[in-house]
Chains A and B, each alone.
Chain A
Amino acid sequence: MQCAKMLLRKIVRSSVLPFAAQHGMKKDLFPLSRTLSLSLCLKQDKSCEPSEKLDLDEWKKVMKSGLQEEVTETVSEPKELSGLAAARETLEMWRLAGKAVPENISEEQLKTFMECPSKSAKKKYLRYLHVKELHKKSEKRKMAEKRERRLEAQDQASNTDETKKSSFICLWSSTMDKAYNWRAAQSMIFGQPLVFDMSYEKEMTLREVTNTVRQIVMSESCNRRSVDPFHIHFCNFKDDSLYHREFIKQYREAWGKLLITVTDQCYTEIFPKEKLIYLTADSPKVMKTFDHDKIYIVGSMVDKSIKTGVSLARAKRLGLETAALPLEKYLLWSAGAKNLTLDQMMHILLTLKDTADWKKALEFVPKRKYCGFVNKPVQELKKTLDLINTFKLGKGREGAEKQFAKNHPKK
């Protein structure tokens, strides 16, 4: 890597320098001739071809002029590239060609890149790294700006030199943390259990596992901050699994101090079966109310490839009751899959637990997925929608029905 960069730098330098020298030499002669040619042009008719004096292939000379020294350099360079170096070289060329490729790439990422099974997988992975890099850069820039602003503000504050007196003690975040932790600790004794089923590792790619863990981290933090937190259980959790490794990456040393229960046991071994309800979007049963005596299970899975029925299958196998959120009943669904992220689920469940208000809870469903809340009975709304459609299409009712049957050949 270092060596390749050095080489590149050298090439750039070596191709610039001779040109500059050349240019410098000409400089003395050039201005004169230019003014001459210009004045000539002005005197003569406009149709005079200024291109006649243009050496169209001059760019080739410039490109080649830097090459002489460089050739001698590359000769000493070993011709055959090893796998990793070749991959790095290809990436560099793609970057030069203006493709979505990260500027810096680590050895590990390069290996992942090479292990991608297809060209499109490689492209996707590079794009992902590229976007990640862009985010990181803009974040850094923002941080720097913020720091500057803060320094400025401090300067101003020191100028005015005003001492504030307040009767309140300033609550620092560590104090808040203590309060939150106290609540979480209480929930571990008295709280309602909420289970995250950690048995989907095999169904997911590495990136999906990373996303899952990130979502769980967000869920855990919003649970901790709530008035009445759940007692979170990670069930079927295997030590040294991908989940585990990702959690350690996210939490670092805080992982050991989390106020949650982590176990390799299945929920069916810890809780009575009849109390368990598996939450899954595929469930035929729709949840009506939040039950404070039940133990809800959420599958810790991100499925970007929409694997239907995976968690339903798990519940079926264990003979558990299942439930889906009543999204259709309360929301006019417009687009997107009905499966929600884990932190959205957590927000919804917490709100339900505290308020039992579906409308309030379902505010956490992303706005892009629905048009609005249902305020009339669904049946009536559908009728009006149908009517509008029939008028719009200018077809009889029969036509609309046929269309419907075509789109839904099977219920």
Chain B
Amino acid sequence: LQPPEKPLQAEEWNKLREDFQLPQIFEEVMLNSMIRCNSPIDVAKSLLTHVAKRNGDIAYNVLVKYLTLCVQQGQVSEICDVYDIMKVRFKILESGAYNLLVKGLSNSDQWRMALTLLEEIKKIMIPSRTCYESCIKAASRHQEMKVAFELYKEMLAKDVVPTLEVLQSFFNFSRGMKDAELQKELFGILLYLRENQIYPHKTFMRSIKLWFESIPGGNWKGRMTKIEDSGQCPVCKHQLEDSNLTEEEYSNLSERIIRDVIHGTDTFRKTSPKEFEAFQTFVENRLPFDIVIDGLNVSHIKSRKMQCQNLFDAVNSLAKDNARLLVLGRKHMLMNSSNWKKEIMKEMQNKADFFFAENISEDDAFLLYATLRSGKHCRFVTRDFLRDHKACLSDSLTRHLFRKWQRGHQIIFSSVFSQQPAFRYDCVVQTTGDTWHIPYKDVFEEKYSYQVPRKWLCIQQKL
């Protein structure tokens, strides 16, 4: 349905409407295509006039469609008019119309009206994140940073997750301002990124860099870099935080893994209390291990090779330097079969400790437990991303701890049999006061949750 280019008379609209297959929804469809084609609002107005004359009333959804068109074209006075009409006509509005109104007004000189509108929305519902986004951006665009930060804090208090754009706008609009209070707030945003393990994208990183460098008398200098495997920053020679958890975090995580992952709602789902007890005593008697291996996972690395041969190769390559190994497997591995040869299994058992779980038990949970019990130095080998186990943890804080610990302790064998070492340093926003290190993503969206960015922004204060 092609919208007309010029406003039409009532008769012409009538004719178009009658030619349409479903006259009841003609206005809606027509306005939709006007929005798509960005038609002049005069055309839409003539349609509304026609509808108003015919019915003596215009339905709410048609008004909202018209509002969308006005917002799209930034027709502020029209937006205000529609709002006036809606306000008197309906007791309250729904979120769609509110979002449009706030968005439309915040982009104009009437932006303060958007703020009052936000107050009105709050009386009825929790405003959406886009509502907050529009208001915060409008306030910071007009250098009302205090208002913007108030809204931002309110947002966090209501568990509305701010978009990266909101955070970025704070840095964009605070450039060149000398205000200690403001500086503290912006550092707070960086710490928010740290706590939630959010990585800014490239343009956001630039905003951060430019803001730092614009602080009058701050003497900040930012450089893009890559961190060495040792965890040292090549620019400022600073050693990054290591990936170890603190004592408290560590014991917290171990406790939660046992409670949520291994036991969950029912210990019988993943193992049985008897088996778990047997495993616990087994582990306690042989502690500590250096490397815990997921036997079945490793045995599938090369599909053309015999499974036990794969495991044997892995154990051999890890058994150097007197490392104490624990291999977790299932009982069926002990049955002599085409894939599991008894002799090789015997030979392996001389080099490493083995624990065989029931065939229907989940060995991953045991893997986590044994590694955590062995202490901070212990690492584990599996290609599994352990996402299902992470999902068992009930709160996001523990999930973050788990990801951090996993990054630092998981060794991944790729099929060419080279090890990908665990990260030695922690991949989060970090500071020492006179330096900031901020990992960032090249692309806008990070595709996989297990991938961490390799590029960093190093910011240094030269005093």
Contacts and interface: CB of A to CB of B under 8 A. Distances in A.
B52 A398 contact: no
Contacts of A308: 269
A383 interface: no
Given A90-B94, A409-B384, A67 B89 contact: yes
B155 interface: no
A405 B300 contact: yes
A142 to B, nearest CB: 22
Contacts, number: 142
B90 interface: yes
Contacts of A36: none
B45 A59 contact: yes
A16 B45 contact: no
- Please classify the interface of chain A as helix (H, G, I), strand (E, B), loop, or mixed, using the class held by over half of its residues: helix
Contacts of B49: 54-59, 62
A51 B46 contact: yes
B7 A62 contact: no
A316 interface: yes
A93 B89 contact: no
B59 interface: yes
Contacts of A389: none
A110 B348 CA distance: 64
A29 interface: no
A11 B303 contact: no
A402 B45 contact: no
Interface in B56-97: 56-61, 64, 81, 85, 88-94, 96-97
Nearest to B50: A59
A303 to B, nearest CB: 13
A147 B14 CA distance: 39
Contacts of A410: 296-297, 300, 384
Interface size of A as a range: 35 or more
B51 interface: yes
Contacts of A51: 6-9, 42, 46
B61 A97 contact: yes
B304 A401 contact: yes
B7 A56 contact: yes
Nearest to B332: A411
B48 interface: yes
B452 to A, nearest CB: 21
Nearest to B41: A56
B304 A62 contact: no
A286 B93 CA distance: 57
A100 interface: no
A40 interface: no
B142 interface: no
B46 A98 contact: no
Interface string A176-218: 0000000000000000000000000001000000000000000
B58 A94 contact: no
B266 interface: yes
A350 to B, nearest CB: 29
B119 to A, nearest CB: 15
Given A310-B266, A398-B304, A90 B7 contact: no
Contacts of A404: 303
Contacts of B455: none
Interface string A112-133: 0000000000000000000000
B359 A284 contact: yes
Nearest to A77: B91
B96 A63 contact: no
B374 interface: no
A312 B94 contact: no
Contacts of B60: 93, 96-97
Contact of B85 (A12, A64, A405): A64
With most chain A CB atoms within 10 A of its CB, the pick from B9, B59, B85, B269 is B269
Contact of B93 (A19, A60, A93, A317): A93
B57 A15 contact: yes
B107 interface: no
B337 to A, nearest CB: 12
Contact of A310 (B51, B64, B269, B272): B269
Contact of B52 (A63, A77, A93, A309): A63
Interface centre among B45, B51, B59 (most CB of A within 10 A): B45
B97 to A, nearest CB: 7
A11 B89 CA distance: 8
B117 to A, nearest CB: 15
How large, as a class, is the contact surface on chain B?
35 or more
B296 A90 contact: no
B53 interface: yes
Interface in B278-316: 296-297, 300, 303-304
B91 A67 contact: no
B360 interface: yes
A96 B304 contact: no
Contacts of A15: 56-57, 89
Contacts of B270: 309
A97 B8 CA distance: 26
A393 to B, nearest CB: 16
Contacts of B48: 59
A23 B57 CA distance: 13
B94 A16 contact: no
Interface in B1-37: 6-9, 28
A74 interface: yes
A222 interface: no
A58 B53 contact: yes
A284 B332 CA distance: 13
Interface string B258-286: 00000001111110100000000000000
A161 B44 CA distance: 64
B54 to A, nearest CB: 10
A404 B302 CA distance: 11
B389 interface: no
Contact of A16 (B57, B81, B97): B57
B124 interface: yes
A144 interface: no
Nearest to B296: A410
Interface string A60-85: 10111011001100100100010000
Given A97-B94, A316-B268, 20 more contacts: A16-B57, A54-B49, A59-B45, A59-B51, A59-B58, A60-B81, A62-B53, A64-B85, A67-B89, A77-B91, A81-B92, A94-B94, A96-B60, A96-B90, A99-B94, A284-B360, A308-B269, A309-B269, A313-B268, A316-B360
The 3 closest A-B pairs by CB, nearest first: A313-B268, A19-B56, A96-B60
Interface of B: 6-9, 28, 42, 45-46, 48-49, 51-53, 55-61, 64, 81, 85, 88-94, 96-97, 124-125, 265-270, 272, 296-297, 300, 303-304, 359-360, 383-384, 415
20 contacts: A15-B57, A15-B89, A16-B55, A16-B57, A51-B6, A51-B42, A55-B49, A57-B45, A58-B53, A63-B58, A63-B85, A67-B85, A70-B88, A96-B61, A97-B94, A312-B268, A313-B267, A314-B268, A402-B415, A410-B297
